[in-house]
């Protein structure tokens, strides 16, 4: 009889030599991935994530309401688009956008910063190519078609905020560095490239983002007044030499006619009263250009009512305030600047679009973030929110000292 072999326990808890019938050892990679997801779920701002998903859900209903109007306007004698054509496409873009949002929020701070800077450099180069090889749509050349059409300016927005925060935060190391001048020169280049498209609304957003972040970084009040005067001067020059800006400003101050899209949007917005006509029962939307994109807020007003419009506005305010509250206990200048710039771009675009629908702002080719139909715009906005979630991730058990924006920068503050 052969000697008995000693029993060797299996790491996975099963029996050895069972021909695959026992439990297999757990994969270390699987355990690490589960641990990372658990840490992510604990650190992520779940309130902000919930507000964003709720806004996207409302946007889905709005695109469903607007899809028949846009499908009818874009149908031809040869091709008839289905009434829910844009709605079905929107669902696909939203699913892809949510995947981008979650994937970006999983990225560590340092990797998110480096990736955004590289993306900014690539999109800035693409922005240079737009006037040369760009695709024209609705009288503006803002798209590049490299097998898949996209707007470089949409992806440049979040990358620009992170890049700007990185440069401005250099003052922690050396307060004498000319960070304001460097970022101002970069802003000037972007504005010139955007005006060549033309894209005045996008240029206004970039200027507003720079203004907010420069003030948070300690821009002196004297420079603020100087730059404000310079901005007004540039706006006057744009009115004199820039036909697109002059026509839209004249239309805004001169009042609309029955055939102006801004006037149509206003009448559509008010057509449903407080409670709306009901889903699919709106009639004014059928005459509204870009009902699924630029003027989707008016469609919400007609079919779901002014109360629903108020809910949308409150959601945007809640998202902005949530990010600002999250930054109260932050102690890193870069995080404060980057998150502030990202939410300034997001909120600024939302309220420009809303004011445009209310006839309180000149007409711009600007979508309502996470609500309007869009391909590159939806992905870019989800990437923006993903960056916000990644940058504001925080260990709930770690206490921090708030960063003092009014105090000296050299107090041991981490960059």
Out of 238-247, 322-331, 352-361, pick the least confident.
Answer: 238-247
Residue 16: pLDDT over 50: no
Residue 61 lies in a domain: yes
- Work out how many domains the chain is built from and give that number: 1
Residue 244: pLDDT over 80: no
Residue 262 lies in a domain: yes
Q: What is the mean pLDDT of the chain?
A: 81
SS3 content of the chain, % helix, strand, coil (to 5): 65, 5, 35
Residue 415 lies in a domain: no
> Tokens 């901005």, residue?
231
Residue 30 lies in a domain: no
Q: Tell which wins on pLDDT, 271 or 98.
A: 98
Rounded mean pLDDT, 249-269? 64
What does the pLDDT read at residue 102?
94
What secondary structure letter does DSSP report for 137?
A: E
> Tokens 């949510």, residue?
98
Residue 12: pLDDT over 50: no
Rounded mean pLDDT, 87-107? 93
Rounded mean pLDDT, 86-93? 92
Residue 387 lies in a domain: yes
Residue 140: pLDDT over 50: yes
Neighbours of 172 (CB within 10 A): 19
What does the pLDDT read at residue 412?
43
Strands 135-137 and 149-150: unpaired
| Pairwise CA distance, residues 81 & 66, whole Å | 13
How buried is 295 (Cβ within 10 angstroms: 0-12 exposed, 13-18 middle, 19+ buried)? Answer: buried
143 forms beta bridges with: 135
| Pairwise CA distance, residues 332 & 182, whole Å | 21
Q: Tell which wins on pLDDT, 13 or 171.
A: 171
Residue 398: pLDDT over 90: no
Neighbours of 347 (CB within 10 A): 18
What does the pLDDT read at residue 264?
79
pLDDT band at 25 (very low <50, low <70, confident <90, very high): low
Residue 394: pLDDT over 60: yes
Domain span at 338:
45-391
What secondary structure letter does DSSP report for 284?
A: G
Residue 2: pLDDT over 80: no
Residue 15 lies in a domain: no
Structure tokens at 18: 């069972």
Peptide bond into 198 cis (omega under 30): yes
What does the pLDDT read at residue 341?
94
Residue 292 lies in a domain: yes
Out of 162-176, 260-274, 295-309, pick the least confident.
Answer: 260-274
**122: Cβ contacts below 8 Å, ≥ 6 apart:** none
pTM summary value: 0.81
Rounded mean pLDDT, 324-330? 87
Residue 2 lies in a domain: no
pLDDT band at 23 (very low <50, low <70, confident <90, very high): low
Strands 140-145 and 135-137: antiparallel
């Amino acid at each position: 009889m052969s000697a008995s072999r000693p029993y060797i326990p299996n790491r996975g808890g099963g029996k050895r030599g069972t021909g695959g019938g026992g439990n297999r050892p757990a994969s270390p990679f699987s355990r690490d991935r589960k641990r990372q997801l658990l840490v992510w779920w604990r650190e992520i701002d779940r309130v902000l994530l919930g507000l964003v998903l709720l806004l996207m859900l409302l946007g889905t209903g709005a695109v469903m309401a607007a899809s028949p109007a846009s499908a009818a306007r874009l149908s031809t004698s040869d091709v008839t688009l289905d009434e829910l054509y844009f709605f079905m496409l929107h669902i696909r873009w939203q699913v892809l956008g949510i995947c981008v949002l979650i994937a970006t929020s999983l990225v560590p701070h340092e990797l998110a910063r480096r990736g955004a800077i590289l993306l900014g450099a690539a999109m800035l180069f693409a922005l240079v190519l737009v006037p040369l090889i760009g695709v024209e749509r609705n009288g503006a050349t803002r798209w590049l078609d490299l097998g898949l059409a996209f707007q470089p300016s949409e992806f440049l927005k979040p990358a620009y905020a992170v890049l700007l925060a990185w440069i401005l935060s250099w003052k922690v190391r050396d307060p004498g560095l000319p960070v304001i001048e460097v970022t101002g020169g970069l802003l000037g280049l972007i504005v010139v490239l955007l005006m060549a498209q033309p894209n005045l609304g996008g240029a206004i957003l970039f200027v507003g983002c720079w203004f907010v972040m420069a003030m948070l970084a300690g821009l002196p009040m004297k420079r603020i007044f100087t730059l404000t005067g310079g901005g007004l001067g540039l706006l006057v020059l744009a009115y004199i030499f820039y036909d697109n800006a002059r026509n839209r400003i004249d239309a805004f101050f001169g009042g609309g006619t029955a055939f102006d899209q801004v006037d149509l949007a206003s009448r559509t917005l008010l057509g449903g009263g407080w409670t709306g006509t009901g889903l699919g029962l709106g009639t004014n939307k059928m005459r509204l250009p870009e009902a699924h994109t630029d003027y989707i807020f008016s469609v919400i007003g007609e079919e779901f009512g002014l109360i629903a419009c108020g809910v949308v506005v409150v959601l945007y305010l809640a998202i902005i305030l949530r990010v600002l509250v999250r930054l109260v206990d932050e102690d890193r200048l870069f995080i404060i600047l980057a998150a502030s710039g990202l939410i300034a771009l997001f909120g600024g675009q939302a309220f420009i679009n809303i004011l445009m629908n209310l006839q309180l702002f000149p007409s711009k080719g600007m979508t309502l973030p996470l609500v309007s139909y869009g391909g590159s715009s939806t992905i870019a906005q989800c990437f923006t929110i993903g960056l916000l979630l990644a940058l504001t991730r925080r260990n709930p058990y770690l206490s921090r000292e708030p960063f003092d924006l009014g105090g000296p920068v050299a107090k041991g503050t981490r960059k």
